[in-house]
């Protein structure tokens, strides 16, 4: 249920208002929380995912017609273990993707669009692949407007936008399953030309299993000729371990890499897209035991 806060209005017959009363009214208006009707969500869409995929992206437009800013602080769906809010930012001249801390701000009187190659929602731990034509229910939680239910319209694998002009409607959303931390570690590594969805298993017999899905800058499947996976840790006196990954599909790879122990490590990917075109990306990861 969305809780709204209603302003008091003046009676028509009351034509005199003291300066103090006017200032107080203005102050109340400025501090008033956003009503549910002030924030709306439209054009929510996603892309179909291949069999076995564990992640999917979600896109939408949020409009704030209120007089104060609001924040999208979380989201949940029965279709995935969790939803994270991601944003693109430039670090030392390199475009990187990071988890939004503290929520996504929606300024008053403005719209914010989550789209490919920019800020977006990441569905992690899919219960089943997304299929074209499906409508994925989700609940968006705003700091002031409260919960807003949406349905993500699923387009084709290569879709560049929503299939319909309006893809959002009030939807009955089942309560998501209780969150439980998976044994595997997942991260999304983002470069200017190549992105990678990486899943790392806990240590088994001195090794970790690494699964990689490659994407281009438009978040579409990316084929490569070969892929090297390197684990290193400057805090541990061991030589970095490099393994050539095995191709599973045109955009999917897997590798088993020796590791000295659990903790924080650096994972680097050397992606050979063509004979004269190599891209290197890296990110910190956590290895469990």
Q: Average pLDDT in the 140-145 region?
A: 93
Distance of alpha carbon 214 from alpha carbon 223, whole angstroms: 7
* Digit-coded pLDDT (tens) for 222-259: 999 999 999 998 888 888 999 999 999 989 999 999 99
The residue with tokens 């993707």 is 97
Higher local confidence (pLDDT), 78 or 163: 78
* Digit-coded pLDDT (tens) for 188-221: 787 778 888 888 888 888 899 999 999 887 778 8
Q: From edge to edge, which strands make up the β-sheet containing 185-190? A: 185-190, 194-200, 207-216, 252-258, 246-249
* Digit-coded pLDDT (tens) for 165-192: 433 333 334 344 333 335 678 777 877 7
pLDDT at 159 over 70: yes
The predicted pLDDT at position 83 comes to 93
Beta-carbon count within 10 A of 70 CB = 23
Domains of the chain, first to last: 37-155 (2.60.40.1890), 185-287 (2.60.40.1930)
Distance of alpha carbon 210 from alpha carbon 199, whole angstroms: 6
Q: Specify burial of residue 121 (Cβ count, 10 A radius: 0-12, 13-18, 19+).
A: buried
Q: What percent of the chain has pLDDT over 70?
A: 77
pLDDT at 10 over 50: no
Tokens read off for 94:
């390199």
Question: Is the Cβ–Cβ distance between 177 and 162 less than 8 Å?
Answer: no
Distance of alpha carbon 119 from alpha carbon 57, whole angstroms: 10
Q: Specify burial of residue 198 (Cβ count, 10 A radius: 0-12, 13-18, 19+).
A: buried
Q: Average pLDDT in the 141-159 region?
A: 90
Q: How far is CA 243 from CA 83, 106, 161, 281, in A?
A: 31, 44, 37, 15
Distance of alpha carbon 257 from alpha carbon 242, whole angstroms: 7
Distance of alpha carbon 178 from alpha carbon 44, whole angstroms: 24
């Amino acid at each position: 249920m969305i809780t709204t806060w209603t302003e008091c209005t003046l009676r028509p017959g009351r034509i005199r208002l003291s300066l103090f009363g006017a200032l107080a009214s203005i102050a109340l208006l400025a501090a008033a929380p956003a009503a549910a009707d002030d924030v709306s969500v439209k054009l929510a869409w996603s892309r179909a995912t291949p069999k076995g995929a564990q992640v999917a992206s979600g896109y939408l437009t949020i409009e704030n017609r209120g007089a104060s800013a609001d924040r999208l602080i979380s989201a949940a769906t029965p279709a995935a273990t969790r939803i994270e809010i991601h944003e693109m930012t430039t670090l030392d001249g390199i475009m990187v993707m990071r988890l939004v801390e503290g929520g996504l701000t929606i300024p008053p009187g403005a719209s914010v669009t989550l789209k490919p190659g920019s800020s977006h929602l990441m569905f992690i731990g899919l219960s089943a692949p997304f299929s074209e034509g499906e409508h994925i229910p989700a609940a968006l939680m705003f700091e002031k407007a409260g919960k807003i239910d949406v349905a993500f319209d699923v387009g084709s694998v290569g879709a560049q936008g929503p299939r319909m002009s309006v893809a959002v409607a009030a939807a009955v959303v089942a309560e998501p399953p209780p969150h439980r931390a998976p044994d595997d570690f997942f991260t999304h590594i983002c470069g200017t030309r190549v992105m990678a969805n990486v899943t790392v298993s806990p240590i088994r017999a001195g090794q970790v299993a690494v699964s990689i899905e490659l994407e281009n800058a438009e978040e579409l499947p990316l084929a490569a000729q070969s892929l090297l996976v390197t684990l290193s840790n400057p805090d541990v006196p061991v030589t970095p371990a490099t393994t050539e990954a095995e191709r599973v599909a045109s955009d999917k790879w897997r590798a088993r890499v020796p590791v000295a122990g659990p903790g924080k490590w650096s994972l680097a990917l050397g992606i050979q897209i063509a004979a004269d075109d190599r891209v290197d990306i890296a990110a910190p990861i956590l290895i469990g035991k």
